[in-house]
Amino acid sequence: GQQLNQSPQSMFIQEGEDVSMNCTSSSIFNTWLWYKQEPGEGPVLLIALYKAGELTSNGRLTAQFGITRKDSFLNISASIPSDVGIYFCAGPTSGTYKYIFGTGTRLKVLA
């Protein structure tokens, strides 16, 4: 079945550094969503992408829908301590109402 692979699995960075993470699939997606989950909470949507090649920003976050439609990227600029959490990519499986989620990238920011 369809799977989403996220890398890296975890990152430890210094406050102020930029962060890049990606999500890849063996099959095509028509929508990419990026979520952030903080400890003890449910995931919250950060950015939604609906077109191949689309580049969308939300404050210090920028996400891109890959041209091949098999990948997506999330960048965080000038990281701050509150960026700590797990970042998930997600996309709808073809022909269904169901989303699949990647395994997540765990981000820790050192002050």
Partner 1 sequence: NAGVTQTPKFRVLKTGQSMTLLCAQDMNHEYMYWYRQDPGMGLRLIHYSVGEGTTAKGEVPDGYNVSRLKKQNFLLGLESAAPSQTSVYFCASSYSSVGEQFFGPGTRLTVL
CB of 111 vs partner 1, minimal distance in Å: 26
CB of 11 vs partner 1, minimal distance in Å: 15
Check residue 7 for interaction with partner 1 (CB under 8 A). no
**Contacts for 35-43: CB closer than 8 Å, 24+ residues apart:** 35/87, 35/88, 35/89, 35/90, 35/101, 36/85, 36/86, 36/87, 36/88, 37/85, 37/86, 37/87, 37/88, 37/104, 38/84, 38/85, 39/85, 43/88
Check residue 24 for interaction with partner 1 (CB under 8 A). no
User: Footprint of partner 1 on residues 51-80 (CB under 8 A)?
Assistant: none
Check residue 14 for interaction with partner 1 (CB under 8 A). no
Question: Where along the sequence are the contacts to partner 1 (CB under 8 A)?
Answer: 4, 30-31, 33, 40-45, 48, 50, 88, 90, 92, 97-104
